[in-house]
Amino acid sequence: MSARSAPLPPETGCVRSLLQFYLGMMRMEALRNLQYRVANYFYMIGMLAEPIIYLVVWSTVARQQGGSVDGFTPGQFAAYYIVWTLVRQMNIALTPAAWEWRIREGQLSGWLLRPLHPFNYDLAGLAGWKVAVIIMWLPIAAVLTLIFHPVLHPTWADVVVFAVAIWGAYVIRSLALWLLGCVTFWTTRVNAIFEAYFTAELIMSGRLVPLQLMPQWVQTAANFLPFKSTFGYPIEALTSDLPTGQLLGGLAAQAVWIAIGSGLVALVWRRAVRRFTSVGN
């Protein structure tokens, strides 16, 4: 048998099949969401309130303090929070509260019969939506740029790293929220756990304010938690002129958190699904 006609090794075939699944799922979801542009634009515009409030507040503080806050000028705040709008859209993942609905409506029962781990369907489906989001975000960013005049001078290396980092951030946050969702297999009183997680994320991720403006203990803690890899690092990669070592170090940190998250999801899911009791209409 020639090399051309020889069958692929099982590992290669599995990887190729998984890649085809992701590309097909993403293509389908991207096309579907591009068909509903108006609905998606209303959703995206609705999410602009949070960063615009942050931007106006901190720009005002900077002007009142002589033009900057710890080195951040109004133009730099504008750049940070405009990029923030895309990073926030990219970080949208399945809410942990969705697990209750999935179990109640019998959705999970069907998913357990599928050939792939259920996490793949969530990750691939929402990833396709992200492709549509990036396309639709560009005119929003143009309007915000005209209004707020950001100061932004990225290099090509910054742009490339940012393009990789926003997808890494999405995977990390998807893994984290999936793990939180699995808690519902052990208890239905999970709101306090969810709120504690989202509060920690708000403070230590760079979502509320650039981490450089936070107390030193917050900055130190953020270096040992995954939150920075989902918000602060991707934004800073494009807006803060980070040295090459920090750019690559941030990508390495994302890879570590993806590996840790993947291992935890595999471990927790095996234990959680044993506790699953099928219910539905």
CA gap 157, 172 in Å, rounded: 22
Ranges of each domain in the chain? 30-273
> What pLDDT, on the 0 to 100 scale, is given for residue 108?
78
| Least confident among 33-42, 60-69, 100-109, 210-219 | 100-109
Answer whether residue 279 shows pLDDT above 80: no
Q: Quick one: average pLDDT of 61-84?
A: 92
> What pLDDT, on the 0 to 100 scale, is given for residue 12?
55
Q: How far is CA 125 from CA 7, 27, 116, 117, 135, in A?
A: 30, 9, 13, 13, 17
Express each pLDDT in 171-197 by its tens digit: 999 999 999 988 888 877 777 888 899
> What pLDDT, on the 0 to 100 scale, is given for residue 247?
95
Answer whether residue 17 shows pLDDT above 50: yes
Take residue 143 and report the two structure tokens written for it: 């309007």
> What pLDDT, on the 0 to 100 scale, is given for residue 13?
59
pTM: 0.88
Is residue 85 within 8 A of residue 141, CB to CB? The reply is yes
CA gap 266, 275 in Å, rounded: 15
> What pLDDT, on the 0 to 100 scale, is given for residue 63?
92
> What pLDDT, on the 0 to 100 scale, is given for residue 60?
92
CA gap 244, 241 in Å, rounded: 9
Is residue 82 within 8 A of residue 150, CB to CB? The reply is yes
Answer whether residue 83 shows pLDDT above 80: yes
> What pLDDT, on the 0 to 100 scale, is given for residue 4?
43
Q: Quick one: average pLDDT of 134-152?
A: 93
More confident residue, 38 or 227: 227
Give the model's confidence band at 3: pLDDT under 50 very low, under 70 low, under 90 confident, else very high. very low
Give the model's confidence band at 169: pLDDT under 50 very low, under 70 low, under 90 confident, else very high. very high
Q: What is the mean pLDDT of the chain?
A: 87
> What pLDDT, on the 0 to 100 scale, is given for residue 1?
41
- The phi and psi torsions of 69 (rounded to 5 degrees) equal -125, 105
> What pLDDT, on the 0 to 100 scale, is given for residue 254?
97
Express each pLDDT in 98-134 by its tens digit: 887 777 777 777 778 788 888 999 999 999 999 999 9
> What pLDDT, on the 0 to 100 scale, is given for residue 277?
66
Nearest partner of 161 among 101, 99, 80, 229, judged by Cα: 229
Nearest partner of 122 among 265, 247, 241, 221, judged by Cα: 265
Tally: H helices and E strands in the chain: 13, 0
Q: Quick one: average pLDDT of 248-268?
A: 95
